[in-house]
Amino acid sequence: RPAAADAVAAAPAYPTTHEKIEKVGNTPYFLDNKFVQSTTDKFIDLPDPATNNLVTRVPQMTDEEMKAAVASAEKAFKGWRDMTVLARQQIMFRFVQLIKDNMDRLAASITLEQGKTFADAKGDVLRGLQVAEAACGAPELLKGEVLEVAKDMETRTYREPLGVTAAICPFNFPAMIPLWCIPIATITGNTLILKPSERDPGCAIILAELVQKAGFPPGVVNIIHGAHRTVDFILDEPAIKAISFVGGNKAGEYIFSRGSANGKRVQANLGAKNHAAVLPDANKNHFLNSVVGAAFGAAGQRCMALSTLVMVGETKEWLSEVADRARDLQVNGGFEAGADLGPVISPQSKQRIEHLISTAEKEGATILLDGRGKVPSKYPNGNWVSPTIISNVTTDMTCYKEEIFGPVLVCLNVDTIDEAIDLINKNEYGNGTAIFTRSGATAETFRRNIEAGQIGINVPIPVPLPMFSFTGNKASVAGGGASTFYGKPGINFYTQLKTVTAMWSGADAVAKKASVHMPTLQ
């Protein structure tokens, strides 16, 4: 175990400005309810995306430290599993309240490390908080079933925790995704090792402090840091029984296959290319606000961003008004009042997004609104891409085929709703889609025929609330989406069913010959 002297008191405080931090520290990891500095000599620099000034250094933890985290989670498991579900529920109630009390602090860490605006960062925390609130209903959700099969025989099911579980998180929702995992994994009686994104782990570290304050016993939630090597450690560690992954397809498909091959349960939510179809009978003003908000909010770095617009019939005439509203959005440092979108995560990401815009130009599309090269005066060194609209796009273009993950809306024209459905269904991804129409019949045709996991009818970002589940489809999930995050399927993922069949009359049996036939329980 690392020396206790290395433990620091609490998660660091976060400034609410983008000013240069004079004394940059290293992000601690979280073991046995203590914050610990890694002894590694390998760190990943974490710059503020608005300035590229250094915020912190994230350790690539040593094998010894990661093994200690697993040993701690294994040790904590028995006591946590044996605690009554009501006691776990009380801890979750306190965790919920602490998240509410620390909302601004959590959001500030997100704005500083991830770049999204402070208001949007609070939305990130809130959507995670709702999962923790729903997890408080676990006594109901964990109930098994019982059937009196015959007058003296009954069958019952129990939901039992798996043991040590792990979560591997992406950069774009530093609060929400850890909170898809911490509440559901723990309320069901498991312990959890969480690896936040190495690009913005600060929010997870504040959540760790709240875990400690809420009264989770030491080792129930441990937080480790690193990149691919840390992921490989999780994938190959025999004590880890299940892995939750959210991120891109390259990492996700690798994690799903290697984790599954090692005999673990794996749930993996992957990339997206979400389409919005707009019909001429839609409420135009609602559509304009919805598509502009959902395409460019969070600088397009949401897995449910509406990045692709399919304009049916004469709605193509509305595109100039989409561009007018997009042009009005303020791109600025996330702490600045009035900022609508902040920077993208890294200089590499900005370069990749700009490259995809230039491929569209080369391949014959029109750059209707060009967000390249616009820099807010106060932040000359940030990773800025302003809202960009590419029109006259066809499905063979690179900007259509790839997930851009930036503030770029690609627009295609079709003549009918059937063509729109056909186009959307041919796309390899199936995370979410939206339709804008006032016709119930058209919406119903769309709902029935579309191959996407989450559909918005006049709702631009239809992320389900936690009493439902996050139901991506096609290439947006690994393993065919058999196991989805939160809601009843989330409880199912983190529990093993045990079925007991009992017959008490047999206890008094007097027959001398054994029956060798398969019992049929008829």
Q: How far is the CB of 477 from ligand NAD (least distance, A)?
A: 7
- Binder of ligand NAD out of 128, 161, 170, 382 (CB under 6 A): 170
AA identity, residue 418: D
Q: How far is the CB of 196 from ligand NAD (least distance, A)?
A: 7
Of the pair 111, 269, the CB lying nearest ligand NAD is at 269
Residue 138's φ and ψ, nearest 5 degrees, are: -55, -40
- Binder of ligand NAD out of 61, 96, 214, 251 (CB under 6 A): 251
Q: Does 168 bind ligand NAD (CB under 6 A)?
A: yes
Residue nearest to ligand NAD (CB): 247
- State how far the Cα of 91 lies from the Cα of 186, in Å rounded to an integer: 10
- State how far the Cα of 185 lies from the Cα of 490, in Å rounded to an integer: 8
Q: How far is the CB of 456 from ligand NAD (least distance, A)?
A: 15
**Among the candidate windows 25-33, 194-202, 212-220, 290-298, which touches ligand NAD by CB under 6 A?**
194-202
**Among the candidate windows 71-79, 223-231, 488-496, 498-506, which touches ligand NAD by CB under 6 A?**
223-231
Touching ligand NAD, residues 275-334 (CB under 6 A): 303
- Binder of ligand NAD out of 198, 209, 237, 340 (CB under 6 A): 198
Of the pair 143, 250, the CB lying nearest ligand NAD is at 250
Give the x/- contact pattern for ligand NAD in 399-438, rule: CB under 6 A. Answer: ----x-x-------------------------x-------
Q: How far is the CB of 463 from ligand NAD (least distance, A)?
A: 9
Of the pair 256, 318, the CB lying nearest ligand NAD is at 256
Of the pair 318, 429, the CB lying nearest ligand NAD is at 429
Whole-Å CA distances, 287 to 233, 400, 410: 46, 21, 16
Those residues with Cβ within 8 angstroms of residue 385's Cβ, 6 or more apart along the chain or in another chain = 299, 343, 344, 350, 353, 354, 371, 372, 406, 407, 408
Q: How far is the CB of 279 from ligand NAD (least distance, A)?
A: 26
Cβ atoms 358, 350 nearer than 8 A: no
Residue 370's φ and ψ, nearest 5 degrees, are: -105, 115
Whole-Å CA distances, 285 to 296, 309, 311, 315, 409: 17, 16, 15, 12, 18
Quick one: tokens of 167? 């979560």
What 3 state SS string does 90-139 have? HHHHHHHHHHHHCHHHHHHHHHHHCCCCHHHHHHHHHHHHHHHHHHCCHH
Q: Does 49 bind ligand NAD (CB under 6 A)?
A: no
Of the pair 76, 121, the CB lying nearest ligand NAD is at 121
Q: Does 124 bind ligand NAD (CB under 6 A)?
A: no
- Binder of ligand NAD out of 197, 274, 386, 391 (CB under 6 A): 197
In which residue are the tokens 């303020």 written?
330
Q: How far is the CB of 500 from ligand NAD (least distance, A)?
A: 36
- Binder of ligand NAD out of 129, 166, 169, 357 (CB under 6 A): 169
Q: How far is the CB of 104 from ligand NAD (least distance, A)?
A: 23
How many residues sit in the footprint of ligand NAD (CB under 6 A)? 29
- Binder of ligand NAD out of 14, 35, 80, 173 (CB under 6 A): 173
- Binder of ligand NAD out of 1, 100, 143, 250 (CB under 6 A): 250
Q: How far is the CB of 44 from ligand NAD (least distance, A)?
A: 10
Of the pair 472, 489, the CB lying nearest ligand NAD is at 472
Of the pair 247, 466, the CB lying nearest ligand NAD is at 247
- State how far the Cα of 436 lies from the Cα of 286, in Å rounded to an integer: 9
Radius of gyration of the chain from Cα atoms? 25
Residue 378's φ and ψ, nearest 5 degrees, are: -75, -20
Q: How far is the CB of 176 from ligand NAD (least distance, A)?
A: 8
Q: Does 123 bind ligand NAD (CB under 6 A)?
A: no
- The residues carrying an active-site annotation are 303
Touching ligand NAD, residues 255-274 (CB under 6 A): 269-272
- Binder of ligand NAD out of 100, 143, 228, 374 (CB under 6 A): 228
In which residue are the tokens 């609209």 written?
389
Helices (H) and strands (E) in the chain, counts: 16, 23
DSSP states along 19-42: PPPSS-EEPPEEETTEEE----S-
In eight-state DSSP terms, residue 431 is: S
In which residue are the tokens 């599954």 written?
260
Q: Does 175 bind ligand NAD (CB under 6 A)?
A: no
- State how far the Cα of 435 lies from the Cα of 368, in Å rounded to an integer: 23
Of the pair 254, 468, the CB lying nearest ligand NAD is at 254
Cβ atoms 43, 26 nearer than 8 A: yes
- State how far the Cα of 245 lies from the Cα of 169, in Å rounded to an integer: 6
- State how far the Cα of 393 lies from the Cα of 414, in Å rounded to an integer: 11
- List residues binding ligand NAD (CB under 6 A): 168-173, 195, 197-198, 227-228, 231, 246-248, 250-251, 254, 269-272, 303, 403, 405, 431, 470, 472, 476
